Amino acid sequence: MKSFLLAAVLLFTATAYGQIPEPGFENWSASGPFMAPNGWAVSPGVVKSPDAYAGSWALQCKVDTFTNPFTSTLDTIAGTAYTGAMLMSPPAPGSLYGGFAFIGVLDSFVGYYKFQGAPGDSTVIMAYTSHWDAATSTRQIVQQATFSTGQASATYQRFSVPFSAMTSVGGMDTAFVQVMAANPQRPLHMGTSVWVDAIEFRLLPDAVNDVQPATFNVYPNPFSGNIIIAGGNVKKAGLLNMMGRVVAETTTNTLDAAGVPPGMYFARIEAADGTVTVKQLVKQ
């Protein structure tokens, strides 16, 4: 019975439904009055850029001006691209909604970017998964990852940010990605721009087989109490359940997991140099 349960859990965790639409930004089509990557919607200030990290095209979001259709005034906007749609009429014009179907437990959000901007400007690249609660008719965020920087870069740099659990509710059914040229809560400056390319979600099973060499080993596995982390100095380690929620954590080489219930887990271990190792574990 235990072996059957373990096999079923492994099958579930290794399978994810849905991925980011057009993550390399190669194919674009008309979206209202603008051109947008397939599966995305955009605001003014978003263009198809030949300055790509890989392939022929990248996403460029920039601070730009446009004539506001609701007020007929010339406004400044932080160009925004998003996997969903924007409400263009009252009662909440400019509100984002939608996303894409997704089922899976996420480890991290990665990709490549370039940024130029005035002092104080910062770009925001974010993703989250959510769950529709039919009982309350509300959508709850399950996991979220946000990357923001104001550091100018003339060449593409890699970003990698972990997903954090925002609620104990599982059963995520939708994911959403958004790229903003600048933080709209701060003063906007013409010329600020971000280029983004080759973005992806890293699932926990994928992270186990990441291209970076594993620097840590964990034992015993299966475990019943403490987990020993061998192979180097630990900056931070966490034990994640199947919903991606951290249920135990440490900054030493011993992770106290005696209090977690039996089942499948992932140990996510970060070294001082930022290298991350992810291991699958089973609690007896």
The CA distance from 27 to 217, in Å, is: 41
Q: What is the pLDDT of residues 107-121, one digit of tens each?
A: 899 999 999 998 889
What is this structure's pTM? 0.67
Structural domain of 220: 212-283
CA distance readout (Å), 44 to 67, 162, 192: 10, 29, 14
The yes-or-no verdict on residue 95 having pLDDT over 60 is no
- To the nearest 10°, report the CA torsion of 252, 203, 99, 41: 100
**Nearest C-alpha neighbor of 102 from the set 171, 39, 40, 200:** 171
Total domain count, the chain: 2
Omega cis (within 30) before 213: no
What CATH code is carried by the domain that includes residue 245? 2.60.40.1930
Q: Output the CA torsion sign for 87, 90, 94, 97.
A: negative
Question: Tokens standing for 242?
Answer: 């199947």
> What pLDDT does residue 244 have?
65
Q: What is the pLDDT of residues 237-268, one digit of tens each?
A: 888 776 567 889 999 999 999 999 888 787 88
Q: Are residues 31 and 141 in the same domain?
A: yes
Q: Are residues 167 and 268 in the same domain?
A: no
Question: To which residue do tokens 């991925």 refer?
Answer: 19
- Residues 148, 161: contact at Cβ < 8 Å? no
Q: Are residues 180 and 217 in the same domain?
A: no
Q: Are residues 27 and 99 in the same domain?
A: yes
Q: Are residues 84 and 218 in the same domain?
A: no
